[in-house]
Amino acid sequence: MNTLLILTVAGVLCLMSEIFSFKKAVPVMVIIGLAAAFTALFFDWNTNVSYYNDMMRMDNFAIAFTAVMTAVTLLWLLLSPGFFKEESSITDHYSLIVFALIGAMVMASYSNLIMLFLGIEILSIPMYVLAGSRKNSLSSNEAAVKYLLMGAFATGFLLFGIALIYGATGSFNLEAIASTIQYEGNSLVLYAGILMMLIAMAFKSSVVPFHFWAPDVYQGSPTQVTAFMSTVVKTAAFAAFFRLFWTCFNQVGEVWVGTIWVLSAVTILVGNITAVYQQNIKRMLAYSSIAHAGYMLMSVLTMNDYSQGSLLYYTIAYSLSSLAAFTILLLVSSSGNETIDSFKGLASKNPLLAFVTLISLLSLAGIPPLAGFFAKYYIFSAALQNHYTVLVILAVIGSLVGVYYYFRIVIAMFQGEATEERIIAIDPVVKAVLIIASIATLVFGIAPGLIVSLL
Q: Please, are residues 108 and 61 in contact by the beta-carbon 8 Å criterion?
A: yes
pLDDT of 286 reads 92
- Which of 435, 430, 421, 427 lies closest to 345, judged by CA? 421
Residues of the chain with confidence (pLDDT) below 70: 84-88, 334-336, 416-423
Look at residue 271 in the predicted model and tell me its pLDDT. Answer: 94
**Which pLDDT score is estimated for 252?**
85
Q: What is the pLDDT of residue 87?
A: 46
pLDDT score recorded for residue 340: 84
Residue 162 has a pLDDT of 95
pTM as predicted: 0.94
- Specify the pLDDT at position 373: 93
Cβ pair 383, 301 in contact under 8 A: yes
Q: Which residues of 223-257 are buried (b: 16+ CB within 10 A; e: fewer)?
A: bbbbbbbbbbbbbbbbbbbbbbbbbbbeebeeebb
Helix, strand, coil percentages for the chain (3-state, nearest 5): 80, 0, 20
Instruction: Please write the tens of the pLDDT for every residue from 376-425.
Output: 999 999 999 989 999 999 999 999 999 999 999 999 888 766 555 556 77
Q: Are 330 and 223 in contact (CB under 8 A)?
A: yes
**Vertex 220, ends 217 and 225: CA angle to 5°?**
75
Cβ atoms 161, 167 nearer than 8 A? no
